[in-house]
Amino acid sequence: MKRFTLSLDPDSIIKITSAEWIGPKDIVLSNVCEPDEADSSSIIFCEQERLLEQVKASPAGLVVTSASLQARLGSRPLLIAENPYLTFMTMVSYWLELEAGQQDYSIHPTAIIDPTVRFEGEAAIGAHVVIAANTVIGDRVSIGANCIIGKDVFIGTESSLYPQVTIYDSCQIGKHCILHSGVVIGADGFGYQVMEGKQQKVPQVGNVIIHDEVEIGANSCIDRATLGSTVIGKGTKIDNLVQVGHNCVVGEHSILCAQVGLAGSTIVGDWVYLAGQVGAAGHISIGSQAMVGAQSGIASNLPGAAQYFGTPAIDANLMKRVVVSWKHLPEMYRAYQKTLKGDKSD
Amino acid sequence: MKRFTLSLDPDSIIKITSAEWIGPKDIVLSNVCEPDEADSSSIIFCEQERLLEQVKASPAGLVVTSASLQARLGSRPLLIAENPYLTFMTMVSYWLELEAGQQDYSIHPTAIIDPTVRFEGEAAIGAHVVIAANTVIGDRVSIGANCIIGKDVFIGTESSLYPQVTIYDSCQIGKHCILHSGVVIGADGFGYQVMEGKQQKVPQVGNVIIHDEVEIGANSCIDRATLGSTVIGKGTKIDNLVQVGHNCVVGEHSILCAQVGLAGSTIVGDWVYLAGQVGAAGHISIGSQAMVGAQSGIASNLPGAAQYFGTPAIDANLMKRVVVSWKHLPEMYRAYQKTLKGDKSD
Amino acid sequence: MKRFTLSLDPDSIIKITSAEWIGPKDIVLSNVCEPDEADSSSIIFCEQERLLEQVKASPAGLVVTSASLQARLGSRPLLIAENPYLTFMTMVSYWLELEAGQQDYSIHPTAIIDPTVRFEGEAAIGAHVVIAANTVIGDRVSIGANCIIGKDVFIGTESSLYPQVTIYDSCQIGKHCILHSGVVIGADGFGYQVMEGKQQKVPQVGNVIIHDEVEIGANSCIDRATLGSTVIGKGTKIDNLVQVGHNCVVGEHSILCAQVGLAGSTIVGDWVYLAGQVGAAGHISIGSQAMVGAQSGIASNLPGAAQYFGTPAIDANLMKRVVVSWKHLPEMYRAYQKTLKGDKSD
């Protein structure tokens, strides 16, 4: 259950959602939840017939539902929408923004901020945050407790860092980005050269550039470039525990699911979808709108606007037929061996 | 070598282990270790014949061993047990609990604790910990340095958080849980909807519920539900770098090995075993007592009480035969091509 | 672009690189970057003909290049080297060391250091660092903000910990090691024994020993041994999000790429190369100089000095031929089914 600090009145809900309100309006609504968690101030949604009984039994104050289910929900406050889930979520997003608007922009007294740090406006800086020299913090940026921000960093307007994020020196974060706890931006790329009988470190003196509206999940890592920049394009969303190697360039609006790993210098296009645990070799390119199935291993360039699966990743439909064939392989092999013996006994 | 702050005397050891003591009792025992690290106050164990020489050469004060090896270890203090390893480990667990009993329950002066936080009893709160409003901390809870605990969180009796754990708002941790460093509980689930030419964030307003006796390894992430709860059942153990997506429900006493990833809304039964790097698609169900081999990719529902392997995961025995067949495939393909030519030349 | 706090003069550059300087020397050089980021104080390199136009257009103060390209770069300051990239990187490494030599060795007043901690020389300790009892900090060690160092830890001379590293009690870090943000050294190994109807925790009372010159990437985890030590050998390099299980022993100069996972008690030799997302079962051994392809799953002992690929990992060349055969498998299966019907109709 998400309890909001502000309640929403029926007229605001109607205005936000452009949906039809049915029933009495003398209710105070202050949380959203599942039907079985609800109380009289809850808003829930119902768009599946199989959940009807559960919803009917729920004391929720308001049910967001469709015209087709309306009659079966009895006489209680309803919000009738074409797409109840979307309408419900639009309302929740609005509500969260209302709440965010109440953010207290202040700097916790335990934060340690170098005197050369420049604030472009107000900012919320949590306890024990450290911000090093020459860094610029955009307007209405929020930085959670214990974040460590290096030197010469830039963080754009209205970006949010949850607690325990680390940003190394010289990295740039765009506007409206969200970085979850444990994210590490700008750690050294993984580069060594064997010299004099050991792995000699190749210095990593580039940076990371994260464009606007990027979200990065908990404990994900974007390594700094050897030289130049590792880049995450505008609007791209990265899940938890993802690894992006040095000098990768990821395009716009792409989706990298949890535990994806990109080796160094790989180019990912726009609107690419990499499912969970996909790995990509270094120095290759994945075309825009490519979709790659879970756990696939991308070993070479993939043209865009196509679906891939497998290790190494090939056409998804072909690979699906391959894996279906696998289970017949032991039998086929026995038959093949028999043929061989037959040939010999000829 | 683990050095304990308290020493154990022979009579306590006999009492804890119900095992038979042989030899003089005038020794002070204060650590456990491997034979080659030992000193005169060490306890070691020996249950394998191949380690006999190493154990005989060890200056350890006490050897936990079996009746069958007793004669070959000469005249030195021995503890004779049916299962020396288990007896040794039972003793170590007891010893660690003794030490934990000496825990200094105090709140470090640098911790920042909202005045509305409620303590159910005594608690050990480390340096630079931040605990936000309305959170409840159970009796004898221990929270390591630099942990960040959100608002409306509940942490049950005798749970331990190692340093640098992050718990987002509204998440619940049961009793006797252990969360290792870098764990992130309750980061946003990974949900977007393409609208107006971009990936629009679906608000994530549920929470995470961790039941009693759960252990979660370093840098693992359990995402909050979109609505409702992501749930980890009682007694389930999760290794390092594991990803549990939003709205997953994991049962009791299950084992998720390192780097396992569960996509959203997946249901895992009780006593399930997922080996390292296993991935599961979203919205599927894995039956109780299922065992899934390392790196498998679970693409659809798996009935319980069976063993699976492969990507996609199928019956483990069949998949093992499949992978054995693979190595004959190039040869089979050459033979097949020859047949084709033969057919044509007919 | 990496801006250095110290500038390098032409004579120093000649001395460091033993390369030939061509053109005027009246320039001040203070950064390294890509050609398109450069200004008049930049050093860039050019060893590929296809970048010539870009380099010619760059206002960089100095170009490190080869004798063969010299004539085509016109009259501007050039540094002529046999291997321009290596020469450039050697110079950058030297420059970074110069900068490191200016490190301000001081202890931040917010660091909480137990009075029993012993410093072997000077050290740089960041804000909010916590160092527990009896730990030893080597000379010129640098510990970033918010690191948490347990009891009885040893950190060798000139090792660097980036912010937010956690080291559990009793672990040892060698000299000249680099640990990136979010690294967790010494969390409990993952061991349980089913007893009395639940997963009973096997106590983990060993430690971790990291030898000299090891680098460990962001958010990687090295678990403590059950008993004895988990060991990382001298000069081994570990990328981000890697899991090393309890009691593993990794040799010298090996490379573990991002998201590699080693289950417990696995032995890895020297100069081993494990590509990204490789997993290894527990209690096996991987011979020295083995190279294992990305996403492979190592299920049993692998002899050294050979290349492997696949899950389970087999000879890399064979596996490459197997995966090439896969795509013919659906067709082969159809042919096989036809034969079966043919046989029956006989």
For residue A38, the chain B residue with the least C-alpha distance is B228
Q: What is the mean pLDDT of residues B223-231?
A: 97
| Percent of chain B scoring above 70 in pLDDT | 99
What does the pLDDT read at residue C142?
A: 97
pTM: 0.97
Taking the C-alpha atoms of residue C51 and residue C47, their distance in angstroms, rounded to an integer, is 8
Taking the C-alpha atoms of residue C244 and residue C232, their distance in angstroms, rounded to an integer, is 9
Chains in touch with A (≥3 Cβ pairs < 8 A): B, C
Q: Which one of A108, A246, A283, A328 is the catalytic residue?
A: A246
Smallest Cα–Cα separation from A161: which of A187, A122, A124? Answer: A124
Residue B344 has pLDDT above 90, yes or no: no
Taking the C-alpha atoms of residue A102 and residue A205, their distance in angstroms, rounded to an integer, is 40
Taking the C-alpha atoms of residue C102 and residue C272, their distance in angstroms, rounded to an integer, is 36
**Of A211-220, B156-165, C93-102, which range is least confident?**
C93-102
Q: What is the mean pLDDT of residues A212-222?
A: 98
Interchain proximity A190–C237, CB inside 8 Å: yes
Rg (alpha carbons) of chain B, rounded to whole number: 26
Residue B345 has pLDDT above 80, yes or no: no
Residue type, position B177, single letter: C
C221 closest CB neighbour out of B93, B164, B241: B241
Residue B342 has pLDDT above 80, yes or no: no
Q: Phi/psi at C203 (nearest 5 deg)?
A: -60, 145
> Dihedral of CA B42/B48/B54/B57: which sign?
positive
Tokens of C9: 């003069």
| Pairing assessment for the beta strands C237-238 and A148-149 based on DSSP bridges | unpaired
For residue A219, the chain C residue with the least C-alpha distance is C219
Q: Which residues of A touch B246 (CB under 8 A)?
A: none
Q: What is the mean pLDDT of residues A82-111?
A: 93
Residue type, position B162, single letter: Y
Interface of A with B in 123-142 (CB under 8 A): 126-128
The CATH homologous superfamily to which domain B2-100 belongs is MurE/MurF, N-terminal domain (3.40.1390.10)
H-helix or E-strand spanning residue B52: helix B52-57
Domain boundaries for CATH 2.160.10.10 within chain C: 112-320
A215: closest CA of chain B, how far (Å): 9
C219 closest CB neighbour out of B92, B127, B182: B182
Tokens of C21: 């300087």
The CATH homologous superfamily to which domain A112-320 belongs is Hexapeptide repeat proteins (2.160.10.10)
**B223: contact with A, CB 8 A cutoff:** yes
Q: Which residues of B touch C329 (CB under 8 A)?
A: 329
Q: What is the mean pLDDT of residues C282-305?
A: 98
Q: Which one of B246, B253, B283, B328 is the catalytic residue?
A: B246
Taking the C-alpha atoms of residue C82 and residue B76, their distance in angstroms, rounded to an integer, is 68
3-state secondary structure chain C: CEEEEEEECHHHHHHHHCCEEECCCCCCEEEECCHHHCCCCEEEEECCHHHHHHHHHCCCCEEEECHHHHHHHCCCCEEECCCHHHHHHHHHHHHHHHHHCCCCCCECCCCEECCCCEECCCEEECCCCEECCCCEECCCEEECCCCEECCCCEECCCCEECCCCEECCCCEECCCCEECCCCEECCCCCCEEEECCEEEECCCCCEEEECCCCEECCCCEECCCCCCEEEECCCCEECCCCEECCCCEECCCCEECCCCEECCCCEECCCCEECCCCEECCCCEECCCCEECCCCEECCCECCCCEEECCCCEEHHHHHHHHHHHCCHHHHHHHHHHHHHHHHHC
Interface of B with C in 256-295 (CB under 8 A): 257-259, 276-277, 294-295
Tens of pLDDT along A293-310?
999 999 999 999 999 999
Q: What is the mean pLDDT of residues B298-314?
A: 98
C95: closest CA of chain A, how far (Å): 10
A246 assigned to active site: yes
Q: What is the mean pLDDT of residues C194-200?
A: 95
Taking the C-alpha atoms of residue C214 and residue C232, their distance in angstroms, rounded to an integer, is 8
Interchain proximity B218–C318, CB inside 8 Å: no
pLDDT, mean over chain B: 96
For residue C296, the chain B residue with the least C-alpha distance is B295
For residue A146, the chain C residue with the least C-alpha distance is C146
Interchain proximity B228–A259, CB inside 8 Å: no
DSSP helix/strand/coil, A28? coil
Return the DSSP state at B23. Answer: S
| First-to-last C-alpha distance (Å) of chain C | 76
What does the pLDDT read at residue C340?
A: 83
Q: H-type helices in chain A, by residue range? A: 10-17, 52-57, 67-70, 84-100, 316-326, 329-345
Q: Which residues of A touch C93 (CB under 8 A)?
A: 201, 203
B3: closest CA of chain A, how far (Å): 32
| Percent of chain B scoring above 90 in pLDDT | 94
CB atoms within 10 A of CB B77: 20
**C16: contact with A, CB 8 A cutoff:** no
Give all strands of the β-sheet with B279-280 in edge-to-edge order.
Answer: B112-113, B130-131, B148-149, B166-167, B184-185, B221-222, B243-244, B261-262, B279-280, B297-298
What does the pLDDT read at residue C333?
A: 93
B280: closest CA of chain C, how far (Å): 16
Residue A343 has pLDDT above 70, yes or no: no
Interchain proximity C190–B110, CB inside 8 Å: no
Comparison of pLDDT for B340 and C330, the residue scoring more: C330
Taking the C-alpha atoms of residue C153 and residue C119, their distance in angstroms, rounded to an integer, is 12
Tens of pLDDT along C209-233?
999 999 999 999 999 999 999 999 9
Give the pLDDT band of residue B102 (cuts 50, 70, 90).
Answer: confident
Q: What is the mean pLDDT of residues B49-61?
A: 95
What does the pLDDT read at residue A344?
A: 60
Tens of pLDDT along A97-126?
998 888 889 999 999 999 999 999 999 999
* Neighbouring-strand partners of residue A63: A44, A78
Interchain proximity A217–B221, CB inside 8 Å: yes
Interchain proximity A318–C330, CB inside 8 Å: yes
What does the pLDDT read at residue A345?
A: 54
C182 closest CB neighbour out of A219, A321, A326: A219
Q: What is the mean pLDDT of residues B52-77?
A: 95
Cβ pair C32, C92 in contact under 8 A: yes
Q: What is the mean pLDDT of residues C111-138?
A: 98
Q: Report CA B153 to chain centroid distance, whole Å.
A: 22
Interchain proximity C188–B180, CB inside 8 Å: yes
Q: What is the mean pLDDT of residues A303-328?
A: 97
| Percent of chain C scoring above 90 in pLDDT | 94
Interchain proximity C259–B255, CB inside 8 Å: no
Interface of A with B in 317-336 (CB under 8 A): 323, 326-327, 329-330, 332-333, 336
B318 closest CB neighbour out of A32, A182, A327: A327
Q: Which residues of B touch C227 (CB under 8 A)?
A: 2, 32-34
Tokens of C129: 């660092």
CA A299 to each of CA A266, A303, C319: distance values in angstroms, whole numbers, following the listed order: 11, 13, 14
Interface of C with A in 57-86 (CB under 8 A): 86
| Pairing assessment for the beta strands A29-32 and A2-8 based on DSSP bridges | antiparallel
Q: What is the mean pLDDT of residues A87-93?
A: 95
Tens of pLDDT along B200-211?
999 999 999 999
A180: closest CA of chain C, how far (Å): 13
Taking the C-alpha atoms of residue C282 and residue C248, their distance in angstroms, rounded to an integer, is 8
Residue C135 has pLDDT above 70, yes or no: yes
Complex ipTM > 0.85: yes
Return the DSSP state at A125. Answer: E
Q: Which residues of C touch B108 (CB under 8 A)?
A: 112
Taking the C-alpha atoms of residue B287 and residue A192, their distance in angstroms, rounded to an integer, is 45
Q: Which residues of C touch B98 (CB under 8 A)?
A: none
Let me know the angle formed at the C-alpha of A30 by A26 and A35, rounded to the nearest 5 degrees. 95
Let me know the angle formed at the C-alpha of A252 by A246 and A258, rounded to the nearest 5 degrees. 65
CB atoms within 10 A of CB B82: 10
What does the pLDDT read at residue C343?
A: 65
Residue A131 has pLDDT above 60, yes or no: yes
Interchain proximity A255–B199, CB inside 8 Å: yes
Interchain proximity B181–C170, CB inside 8 Å: no
B261 closest CB neighbour out of A163, A277, A339: A277
Tokens of B36: 């080659």
Residue A346 has pLDDT above 90, yes or no: no
Q: Report CA C20 to chain centroid distance, whole Å.
A: 32
Interchain proximity B218–C314, CB inside 8 Å: no
What does the pLDDT read at residue C100?
A: 86
What does the pLDDT read at residue B125?
A: 98
Residue C192 has pLDDT above 90, yes or no: yes
Taking the C-alpha atoms of residue C314 and residue C196, their distance in angstroms, rounded to an integer, is 40
Interchain proximity A33–B299, CB inside 8 Å: no
Q: Which residues of C touch A256 (CB under 8 A)?
A: none
Length of chain B: 346
For residue B254, the chain C residue with the least C-alpha distance is C199
Taking the C-alpha atoms of residue A161 and residue A176, their distance in angstroms, rounded to an integer, is 10
CB atoms within 10 A of CB C48: 13
pLDDT, mean over chain C: 96
Tens of pLDDT along C21-71?
999 999 999 999 999 999 999 999 999 999 999 999 999 999 999 999 999
Interface with C, mutate which of A114, A128, A166 (most C CBs under 10 A): A166
CA C292 to each of CA C29, C275, C302: distance values in angstroms, whole numbers, following the listed order: 42, 6, 10
A271: closest CA of chain C, how far (Å): 24
Interchain proximity C128–B126, CB inside 8 Å: no
CB atoms within 10 A of CB C33: 22
What does the pLDDT read at residue C342?
A: 75
CB atoms within 10 A of CB C297: 24
Residue C103 has pLDDT above 90, yes or no: no
What does the pLDDT read at residue C345?
A: 54
What does the pLDDT read at residue B79?
A: 97
| First-to-last C-alpha distance (Å) of chain A | 76
**B192: contact with C, CB 8 A cutoff:** no
